[in-house]
Amino acid sequence: MSGSDRAAVLRFQSTLRSDARRRVYVPLPAEPEVRHLAGTVNGMRYRGAVESIDGSPALVLGPAWRRGCGLEAGDRVSVELEPEGPQRQDLAPDLAAALDTSPAAAAFWDELAQFYRKAYLRWIDATKRSPELRAERIAAVVALLERGLKERP
């Protein structure tokens, strides 16, 4: 993301909680615009998907992640998060326009993890010298996204 287009970093303090399934999580102060976030929790690198826990947005801190930092439910933490991976506003105009014409494809794109987004972008961007092939690949990606496919078959 470029500096002026970059979504603001979300910074807040929170107390870790545990749910009925004994998962430890960070309750988020509000529902973020994107599902996949990356940043830090108490200075430790974190990336994950927003989940709904008891009807509120949260980030689950898995046992393997917590093992390395010693955090438990009840601990107070500092959190810095931002959207992970390429967002729609960062896309080339032709791909962004194609997604704008298909609400289903655009919504599925917004839910994809950065790994899948980057794979689609690499496949499209490999056609820089062939505008016709690029247009075909963009159409193919939109069709795959409309079908809910994370990657090309």
Per-residue pLDDT of 142-152, as tens digits, reads: 999 999 999 98
- 20 and 79 co-located in one domain: yes
The Cα 25–Cα 16 span in angstroms is 6
Residue at 4 is within a domain? no
By residue count, the chain amounts to 153
CB 98 within 8 A of CB 63: no
Task: Provide the residue range defining the domain that includes 116.
Answer: 88-146
The Cα 103–Cα 105 span in angstroms is 6
The Cα 45–Cα 59 span in angstroms is 13
Radius of gyration of the chain (CA): 18
The DSSP call for residue 93 is H
Quote the pTM value.
0.68
H helix or E strand, kind and range, residue 131: helix 131-146
Number of domains comprising the chain = 2
**pLDDT at residue 88 above 90?**
no
pLDDT tens digits, 14-54: 999 999 999 999 999 998 888 889 999 999 999 998 999 99
State the pLDDT confidence band at 7, using cuts at 50, 70 and 90: low
Q: What's the CATH code of the domain at 14?
A: 2.40.30.100
The Cα 47–Cα 68 span in angstroms is 15
The domain boundary, picked from 68, 83, 98, lies at 83
CB atoms within 10 A of CB 92: 13
Give pLDDT, residue 108. 93
Give pLDDT, residue 141. 96
pLDDT tens digits, 47-86: 998 999 999 999 999 998 988 788 999 999 999 999 887 7
- 17 and 59 co-located in one domain: yes
